[in-house]
Structure 1
């Protein structure tokens, strides 16, 4: 016997929405030749040129080894360039190349269409409420995670 019906489990609804968004983004990014992780890295790099791989991993919410693999693939495609930091030679700064900016522009236009279609399903007030409610979900889950640690 289940202690809580599946229909009442918010996690299932959140996961379903996340999976639908991920599947859609995967589909719309495919023609641009990017994965979601690569797109996210390029988008963050556009806003924070010169950022380190470790800081980029935190910003994109992935592990450093995952980000290193993403950056290697982007560098192999000449979408990013990495060079030693002026003062900290063991830190590599990462920047978009001209090709990277072009690929990002195409990919971002595709993702923005999806984001706009999603946003159009809600009134401005509903969108604001949804953002607030999702933020509260994150806050509560972060607290639960901290309490779960031995």
Structure 2
């Protein structure tokens, strides 16, 4: 083997990611949302009118995956989509009141997960962790240029 198991960090990062996603899924489920739907609503709240492609980039998913998420949110009345005033082939997406209510409920619960993580670290450790994770991302991207 090229590297001993105890030196491999990928497994630890994956465990943390899976634990986070599972906790967030449990948190947002009572609001009737999945984690990708919650992420989309959260991003829309911060950037009303954002296009589907830009929303996909913001949520770190493919445009195809975001199309499915948006279709489901629109069918449930959480968002409305309308043609951009100048770029008719671009759809602007807005939260509805129903979507905003679902987001607020989900976010109250998701913040509990985020606070639990933050409370494990000092402010300096949180900054260090963000920096270390950014370095991990940069290293991964360097070894896999097509990401």
TM range (shorter): over 0.9
- Between 1 and 2, higher relative CO (CA 8 Å, sep ≥ 6) is seen in 2
2:32 aligned with 1:33: yes
Alpha-carbon shift at residue 107 of structure 1 (Å): 0.5
Q: In structure 2, what is the equivalent of residue 22 of structure 1?
A: 21
SS of 1:101's partner is: helix
Alpha-carbon shift at residue 126 of structure 1 (Å): 1.0
Give, in whole Å, the separation in 2 of the partners of 1:14 and 1:111: 20
Alpha-carbon shift at residue 5 of structure 1 (Å): 2.2
Alpha-carbon shift at residue 44 of structure 1 (Å): 0.3
Give, in whole Å, the separation in 1 of the partners of 2:124 and 2:57: 30
2:114 aligned with 1:104: no
1:19-58: per-residue Cα shift (whole Å, max 9, x none)?
Answer: 1101111111111111110000000000110011111111
Using structure 2 for the length normalisation, give the TM-score.
0.96
Give, in whole Å, the separation in 1 of the partners of 2:117 and 2:105: 19
Q: In structure 1, what is the equivalent of residue 138 of structure 2?
A: 139
Give, in whole Å, the separation in 2 of the partners of 1:3 and 1:93: 49
Give, in whole Å, the separation in 1 of the partners of 2:47 and 2:138: 26
Structure 2: segments with no counterpart, 5+ residues: none
Moved over 4 A (4+): none
Q: In structure 2, what is the equivalent of residue 13 of structure 1?
A: 12
Give, in whole Å, the separation in 2 of the partners of 1:36 and 1:137: 23
